[in-house]
Amino acid sequence: MSNLYFKNSIFLSVLFFSFFAYSQEIEEVVVTATKKAESIQDIPVSIEAFTAESIEENLIEDLDDLQEVVPGLISFKGVAGGVQYAMRGTGSYGVGVAVVGAIVTSVNGHRVNNWSFGEIGFFDPARIEVLKGPQGTLFGRNAVNGVINVISARPDNEYGGYVDVDMGNLDSTRVTTAINIPFSDSLRTRLAFTSYERDGTTRNLVTNKMFNDRSAYGARLSVDWDINDNTTLQFTTEEYVGDD
């Protein structure tokens, strides 16, 4: 009886140790925060990175969702247009063509108007990187408080795609779709599209019309061409259209 108890104790100890060791494994996330691919564990920068899987698991569709999972990040849409950001308690709260923000918003490392993230959100992303603190060395003098960089999904070698439709109150409808079209083993394309429609939330007592509605669209074309075994040319163009 004691021998059986001893064997069971050893078995449970080994099982617990294996489970504990497995739970302590850290998934390696490769980011391009320093303009080159590196493991997030090797970068001496305060950074939050979300892969496509974690974006889906955390239901991250726009800035409102992102600030829920990134400590220290605050964002909210300004009246009539634009987005206001704060990182670690400081930020730029002015909104307008003459106002320079202190947080850089970019797609694939190229700066975009912060309006696009506020109106359209993140569509067809492969990864989202949020860098905290001054990042002026690589992203320019306006990156005083940090950078929000969205890495878009690249084409792959298989035909396929998806369509996501979200509907809510105020006749809110968000549609996101993407399709892969490979032309050969070395030439691949990916087309992504998103739209966001919503009725207004506030009534103008003078005109009796609702405002602060949403009508925004975004499209992206990505092309990857394998020139040889060591070189790949990546082309991406995108367009955002919207109004309040």
Is beta strand 38-39 parallel, antiparallel or unpaired with respect to 146-152?
unpaired
Q: Which pair of structure tokens corresponds to residue 13?
A: 């100890």
Q: Which pair of structure tokens corresponds to residue 116?
A: 């696009």
Q: Which residues contact 72 (CB under 8 A, 6 or more apart)?
A: 87, 88, 89, 132
The per-residue pLDDT for 195 is 93
Note the pLDDT tens digit of each residue in 162-218: 999 999 998 999 999 999 999 999 999 999 999 999 898 888 889 888 887 888 899
CA dist., res. 94 & res. 86, Å (int): 11
CA dist., res. 28 & res. 146, Å (int): 23
CB 31 within 8 A of CB 131: no
The per-residue pLDDT for 78 is 65
Under-50 pLDDT residues of the chain: 1-2, 4-8, 10-25
Ramachandran bin of 72, using left for φ above 0, alpha for ψ from -120 to 50, beta for the remaining angles: left
Angle at 69 between CA 67 and CA 71, to 5 degrees: 75
pTM higher than 0.85 for the full model? no
CB 243 within 8 A of CB 173: no
Angle at 7 between CA 3 and CA 10, to 5 degrees: 140
Which is nearest to 192 in space by CA: 183, 181, 200?
181
CA dist., res. 59 & res. 44, Å (int): 28
CB 113 within 8 A of CB 85: no
The per-residue pLDDT for 12 is 43
